[in-house]
Amino acid sequence: MHLVMGGINGHYLRDIRDRAAKETDEVLAAVAYATDMSLLFKWCLDYSIPLRYYGRLDDGVAVTWNILRQFLEQRSAKFQCWLVQHHHAKVIWWRGHGLYVGSANLTGSAWYSNIESGCFFEENEITDEIANDVLDLFETLHAHATPLTEELLTIMKDREKELGKRKPPEDEFWKSASFNTWPGLIQTQRKAASDRRRQAFLAEWHSTLQQLRDIGTLVSRPENRPSWIKKEAPAGALADQFLHAHYYQRTMDGRRARYEEFYEKNKNDPDAALREAVAWWRNLRSAPSEEDEMLNITAPKLRSALSKENLKTLDENGFRMICMGVHAIKDYARRVANKSVGLPESKIPYTIPQKVDALSARIWRERSEGGTDVRQLLAHILYGGPNDKLPERLWQGFSDPRWKLEGLGISALGELVGWALPDAFPPRNGRTSKSLRSLGNDVRVHVG
């Protein structure tokens, strides 16, 4: 994380933007005021990066008419704009690259000459808690937003012209039936907000659980199973690796995942998108991304190592083997800062096994605020009660300080649950959600 303070410390938003193109899957922007198209919006268009933008709705025309017009002219589901009353945030998430939270609006003065301050988090610094809070911000804005239409554009154009001549009455502006008005946030206690997030997580978990089970049933049918997969591979594991292959082979454009573009294309008929993807999968003559090794070799080893009995005697070497087999942990190890896992800085990049070694050693030594180690955490989530209560224990595992361990977030724990109990809970991580979304399913994408 570093401070972005423009001319004061030499860190500018434009530099973050210019470095982000190769890694950014989509841009989520909640910036109240916008007067300059070139700062972010044109950049997204130039690099064909999907954008969801939320500006402020008020009688002072916080987002200029010319910018609104250019959004409408694109007529693209990849390039969307909404206006929201009582919105004053300045948040930009280049998903896959990093997150800015600060004071700068999308104006030339804010980006170049004003005294502004903010924080930029590299993608590997964005914890599950931060990601969930930011996603909650965008969902709250969306729930109270006014979509951009020709009617709204006309209202804002007329208002901008009036403001150039005189100070028109505020009440006159708010009479429009085009606006989705709301009174703003009602202050809530911390516990109420936590309960709301817990309920949202559980609702999403159960809804996507059945989707994953249905996919597992479909791809485990003999006619849909590629010849290079052993017959004993569990349906849940098959669902995960089918989605893995689809994601890496069919949604990637270089280092950027185009899952939002595919979502817009497939959201009206997810069933048809799934049928087409399954037809592609079953005709593969070989595993495109080492799915055969995962299903035939690694998955059985993980299931054995994570069994109730074997967890009791799990040692550090055994835990390292588990980490090497879990996509979410390897991906986090790849992105995590060297110093945070005790590695000295080096001109030669560390290999993935070296980073996983360091990360797994740190997690193994870690203790939660309640004194829990990783064996106790996994035993609690996997076997600390009936299966129907496992999602609640999983929530505890990544959100409750009494259980939470640094480096094991929702993606890692969700995947570990799936490799331990694939018959009941297919593995899932951030990539699973992206792949499901690319097939037209309206699921939330966390970090990873």
What is the per-residue pLDDT for 206? 82
Does 304 share its domain with 407? yes
Predicted confidence (pLDDT) at residue 351 exceeds the cutoff of 80: yes
Q: Do 155 and 178 form a contact (C-beta atoms < 8 A)?
A: yes
Which of 186, 201, 221 corresponds to the end of one domain? 186
Q: Is the pLDDT of residue 172 over 80?
A: no
170 and 217 part of one domain: no
Q: Are residues 300 and 231 in the same domain?
A: yes
**Residues 181 and 278 reside in one and the same domain:** no
Residue/partner pairs of 36-45 with CB below 8 Å, 24 or more apart = 36/106, 36/107, 36/108, 36/111, 37/66, 37/67, 37/70, 39/13, 39/14, 39/106, 39/107, 39/108, 39/111, 40/92, 40/106, 41/67, 41/70, 41/71, 41/79, 41/106, 43/17, 44/79, 45/74, 45/79
- pLDDT tens per residue across span 404-423: 999 999 999 999 999 999 98
Distance CA 214, CA 271 (A): 11
Of 186, 213, 246, the residue at which a domain comes to its end is 186
CATH number at residue 178: 3.30.870.10
- Quickly state the pLDDT bin for 129 (edges 50, 70, 90): confident
Please check whether residue 137 lies inside any domain of the structure: yes
- Region 294-298: mean pLDDT is 96
In a domain, 27, yes or no: yes
- If one counts the domains in the chain, the total is 2
Residues 209 and 167 in one domain: no
Mean pLDDT in residue range 380-400: 94
**Section 203-219 average pLDDT:** 88
Boundaries of domain holding 91:
2-186
What percentage of the chain carries pLDDT values higher than 70?
Answer: 97
Residue 1, pLDDT > 80, answer yes
Lowest-pLDDT range of 47-56, 188-197, 271-280:
188-197
pLDDT digits (tens, 9 = 90+) for 61-73: 999 999 999 998 8
Burial class (CB in 10 A: 0-12, 13-18, 19+), 47: middle
447 confidence band (pLDDT: 50, 70, 90): low
Kindly give, in sequence order, each residue whose CB lies less than 8 Å from that of residue 17, ignoring residues fewer than 6 positions away: 39, 40, 43, 94
Among 129, 153, 186, identify where a domain stops: 186
Give yes or no: residues 159 and 197 share one domain: no
CB-based contact 380:372 (threshold 8 Å): yes
Return phi, psi of residue 327, to 5°. -55, -45
Rounded to an integer, the average pLDDT of 163-191 is 74
Lowest pLDDT segment from 96-110, 150-164, 307-321: 150-164
Q: Is the pLDDT of residue 304 over 90?
A: yes
| Start-to-end C-alpha separation, the chain | 18
